[in-house]
Structures are given as structure tokens and as C-alpha cells.
């Protein structure tokens, strides 16, 4: 099913605002060297259904949040083709898939994932049986030929969930942040807006005591739906900031954290490869804020800074890519914390066993959040990337230690002032 470009309700106002530096909502836009057109693009919705292959006795299901399956075809008596398509193109090559499959009788089957031409396989398949934990499918059961990836599966009547990464839907994210906040009066979950399709946009506003003039740290994640390993690091990071230790308590006496646990809930629940429901990469929208998710996040951040006379110190945006890497801004002159990266990275190497920081420094020419933190607020901006295949226990360690070392550096920085 195709949907037409949604007509923005604010269109007449937007036209009126063209040429002004400050948009009508009072949010200051930021210019980047290479502008990106982030106006709405058409997306194609997958049809949600249970496919039944009668002669094979197989059921294949995409009727759940986070699913991605665009069609099913029988190739032969032991092989089924699962058609996987992105929400729209052009798109970053991150073929994401997720579906359930069950068989009337226990048997071995092959499922071939078919991506569009030109999109290489990225995510090692994860498998989940009901009541069991996620497992990575053994590499001897994966056969890759160009854009066709064949998986050998042992099926039975219990639905087996096959996915590019462990599912972390908007509902699961909500359960997590509500659990984490409960009983902690200094954590204030707040819905700062709604996504294009009406899903909640949550933020956790965190500080102890008063908030006036407290420097602010912004944590972002899930702009890109399948980047679940970045979200795992975000979870470990935030759980450490909220662990009620002496370090956490003293840090939150002097700092305030705004943590955005899911910036693109539509994309997450629709099983998108990269974009939001406006068909746009939201991490290219940190200039003109044309997408509601980014516009409202920026508006919320700016409001807090203004209302409470605060400075934005640091912004960390959690993502995933092929390996662990920190993308930093090269020009940091005059920034809020000119030595932060250097101090933080050496502390990580000292405190994480056998760990070497992989830093890639560059100036953001495109409108990404890292560049926005620096250009708009002279704040340190870092894209915190975790590898797709980094072991999950290792991600927890990196997330935990990076939070501890950040708190130590910022706390001592406050003491010096
Ligand atoms: Zn990303």
C-alpha cells in the first residue's frame, strides 16, 4: 500500500517562515555546509499478514511491532523465499528483517532472505523461541550469495522469531524506562510530543534538588531503528547514571540529564531500515527540523535551556555500525569542555579491560546531531557507535564504564569552577 506525501499541517506557517533565521516556534535553525532535503518522502507500508504455505504446512507472520517482511514465495519443497524491502529508497544499506515462522510438523527448512539488488547483507540472524532467550544463528547455517542469504532452520509448531537484531519495540522501551524510573523521584519521565503517526515521544528529565542553571547533558538514541546495539549501550549508560551510587548522587546534584530513549518510534515499530514515517533519515534533519520527531526534541531542549538559564555541555547520540567507534568533532575550540574527549577516552582505555578507543574525528558537513551540539551550543557532540556484532556483555561494560568516567570528569570539572 502506498501513501501519498502527508501534507504538513503547518505548511502555510512554514511558507511564511522561509528566510527567517528563527523558525515560528522560536527554534533557531543551524546551517551546515552540505544541506540535506528532509522534507517528507513517500514510504511503502508492508502488508501485515500471516502467510500460509499449505503444501509445506508453514506459517510466516509479520503482524507484530518491529516486523519486516514484504512477501513470501515457495522456491522448492525445502526452501522459502522471504522478500525484504526498505521503506523507501535511496537508503543506507542496512537490510533489516524480522518475522515469525512455524511448521505443522517438526522439520528442517531453508529460508532465503531476498534484499533488493545492491543491498549487502549486514545483520547476523538472531533466533528466538517462545520462553527462550535470543540466540545468534550458527554461522554454519547461513549461506550468502550476493543479495540472497539462505538460513537453515529447525522448525516446529512453536513460532520461531527470526530477526536482524533483538527486537526492542516502542512498547519494550517504555516498559524499560518506566521500570528504571519507578521509585526514583529524581527521574521524571515526560512525553514531549508525538511522532508523525501519533506515537509517544518520551524523555527522562533527571536531576537531584533544583535545576536552575544546572549544566545539561543530552543523551539520544534510536534515530535509526535497527541500531539496537547502540540502544543497549544507552541502556547500560543510563542505568549507571541512575544507580544511586555516591558518584551518581553527587553528579546529579550538580548536573541535569535529558535522556531520549526512542527518537523514531514509528520507524522502530514499522520495522524500518533507517527512516521515520516521513521517509527521512532524522539524523540529517538537525538543521531545519522539518520532521516532527526532531523539531519537538529540539524545541524541548531549547525550552529547558532558556527557562532554567542552563548551558548545554555535552550531547551523546547512540548508534550502531560495523564496529565500535566514537565520531567526534574536529574543531572543538571554544567548546564547553575542550579536553573532554581526550580525558574520557584515556579513562575508558584505563578502565575497560583490553579496550582501545577507536576515534574518528571530522567536522559534520551534513546536519547530524553531533554537528548540531557544537554549532548551535558550542557543546561537545559525539556519535557513540557500537558494532552490530559487539558481544552484548561487552556492550554493557562499555556503556557502564563510559557513564562512570563521564560523571567523574564532569564532576571534577564542576569542582574546579
Ligand atoms: Zn545510525
Q: Are 159 and 252 in the same domain? A: no
What pLDDT does residue 146 have? 74
Phi, psi angle pair for 88, to nearest 5°: -165, 175
Tens digit of pLDDT for each residue in 175-214?
Answer: 999 999 999 999 999 999 999 999 999 999 999 999 999 9
Cα 282 to averaged position of ligand 1 atoms, centre (Å): 10
Residues 285 and 275: beta-carbon distance below 8 Å: no
Is a pLDDT exceeding 80 seen at residue 24?
A: no
Is a pLDDT exceeding 60 seen at residue 15?
A: no
| Count of the separate structural domains present in the chain | 2
| Host domain of residue 240 | 14-30+168-416
Decide which of 121, 136, 163 is a domain's last residue.
Answer: 163
Is a pLDDT exceeding 80 seen at residue 143?
A: yes
Cα 224 to averaged position of ligand 1 atoms, centre (Å): 5
Residues 276 and 291: beta-carbon distance below 8 Å: yes
Residues with catalytic roles: 385
Q: Are 147 and 180 in the same domain? A: no
Cell numbers representing residue 414 in the block? 564542576
Select from 220, 291, 305 the least CA-distant residue to 259.
Answer: 220
Residue with the three cell numbers 539524523: 283
Tens digit of pLDDT for each residue in 342-399?
Answer: 999 999 999 999 999 999 999 999 999 999 999 999 999 999 999 999 999 999 999 9
Tens digit of pLDDT for each residue in 89-135?
Answer: 999 999 999 999 999 999 999 999 999 999 999 999 999 999 999 99
Residue 1 lies in a domain: no
Tens digit of pLDDT for each residue in 74-96?
Answer: 999 999 999 999 999 999 999 99
Residues 169 and 65: beta-carbon distance below 8 Å: yes
Q: Are 325 and 365 in the same domain? A: yes
Q: Are 348 and 405 in the same domain? A: yes
Beta bridge partners of 113: 82, 149
Q: Are 54 and 25 in the same domain? A: no
Tens digit of pLDDT for each residue in 213-237?
Answer: 999 999 999 999 999 999 999 999 9
Q: Are 138 and 248 in the same domain? A: no
What pLDDT does residue 336 have? 86
Select from 219, 139, 165, 170 the least CA-distant residue to 387.
Answer: 165
Decide which of 163, 182, 203 is a domain's last residue.
Answer: 163
Tens digit of pLDDT for each residue in 287-332?
Answer: 999 999 999 999 999 999 999 999 999 999 999 999 999 999 998 7
pLDDT-derived band at 3, boundaries 50, 70, 90? very low
pLDDT-derived band at 415, boundaries 50, 70, 90? low
Cα 346 to averaged position of ligand 1 atoms, centre (Å): 25
Cα 373 to averaged position of ligand 1 atoms, centre (Å): 16
pLDDT-derived band at 16, boundaries 50, 70, 90? very low
Residue 6 lies in a domain: no
Is a pLDDT exceeding 60 seen at residue 13?
A: no
Residue with the three cell numbers 527554534: 27
Provide, rounded to the nearest whole percent, the portion of the chain with pLDDT above 90.
Answer: 89
Amino acid at each position: 500500500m502506498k501513501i501519498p506525501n502527508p501534507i504538513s499541517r503547518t505548511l502555510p506557517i512554514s511558507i511564511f517562515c522561509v528566510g527567517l533565521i528563527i523558525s515560528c516556534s522560536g527554534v533557531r535553525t543551524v546551517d551546515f555546509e552540505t544541506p540535506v532535503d528532509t522534507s517528507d518522502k513517500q514510504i511503502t507500508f508492508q502488508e501485515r499478514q500471516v502467510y500460509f504455505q499449505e503444501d509445506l504446512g508453514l506459517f510466516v507472520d509479520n503482524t507484530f511491532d518491529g516486523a519486516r517482511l514484504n512477501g513470501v514465495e515457495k522456491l522448492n519443497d525445502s526452501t522459502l523465499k522471504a522478500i525484504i524491502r526498505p521503506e523507501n529508497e535511496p537508503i543506507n544499506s542496512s537490510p533489516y528483517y524480522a518475522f515469525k515462522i512455524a511448521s505443522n510438523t517438526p522439520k528442517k527448512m531453508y529460508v532465503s532472505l531476498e534484499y533488493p539488488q545492491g543491498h549487502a547483507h549486514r545483520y547476523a540472524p538472531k533466533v528466538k523461541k517462545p520462553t527462550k532467550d535470543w540466540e545468534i544463528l550458527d554461522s554454519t547455517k547461513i549461506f550468502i550469495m550476493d543479495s540472497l542469504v539462505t538460513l537453515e532452520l529447525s522448525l516446529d509448531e512453536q513460532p520461531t522469531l527470526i530477526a536482524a537484531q533483538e527486537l526492542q519495540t516502542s512498547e519494550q522501551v517504555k516498559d524499560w524506562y518506566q521500570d528504571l524510573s519507578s521509585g526514583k523521584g529524581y527521574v521524571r519521565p515526560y512525553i514531549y510530543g508525538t511522532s508523525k503517526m501519533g506515537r509517544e515521544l518520551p524523555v527522562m528529565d533527571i536531576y537531584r534538588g533544583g535545576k536552575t542553571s544546572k549544566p545539561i547533558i543530552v543523551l539520544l538514541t534510536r534515530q535509526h531503528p535497527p541500531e539496537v546495539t547502540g540502544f543497549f549501550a544507552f541502556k547500560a549508560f543510563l542505568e549507571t547514571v541512575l544507580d544511586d551510587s555516591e558518584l551518581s548522587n553527587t553528579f546529579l546534584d550538580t548536573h541535569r540529564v535529558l535522556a531520549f530513549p526512542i527518537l523514531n518510534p514509528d520507524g522502530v515499530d514499522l520495522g524500518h531500515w533507517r527512516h521515520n514515517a516521513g521517509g527521512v533519515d532524522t539524523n540529517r534533519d538537525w538543521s531545519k527540523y522539518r520532521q516532527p520527531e526532531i523539531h519537538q526534541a529540539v524545541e524541548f531542549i531549547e525550552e529547558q535551556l532558556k527557562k532554567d538559564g542552563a548551558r548545554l555541555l555535552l550531547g551523546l547520540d547512540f548508534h550502531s555500525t560495523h564496529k565500535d567507534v566514537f565520531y567526534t568533532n574536529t574543531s572543538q575550540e571554544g567548546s564547553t569542555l575542550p579536553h573532554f574527549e581526550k580525558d574520557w577516552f584515556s579513562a575508558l582505555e584505563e578502565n575497560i579491560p583490553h579496550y582501545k578507543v577507536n576515534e574518528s574525528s571530522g567536522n559534520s558537513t551534513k546536519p547530524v546531531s553531533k554537528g548540531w551540539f557544537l554549532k548551535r551550543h558550542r557543546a561537545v557532540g559525539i556519535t557513540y557507535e557500537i558494532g552490530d556484532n559487539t558481544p552484548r556483555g561487552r556492550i554493557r561494560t562499555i556503556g557502564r564504564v563510559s557513564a562512570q568516567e563521564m560523571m567523574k570528569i564532569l564532576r571534577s570539572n564542576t569542582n574546579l569552577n
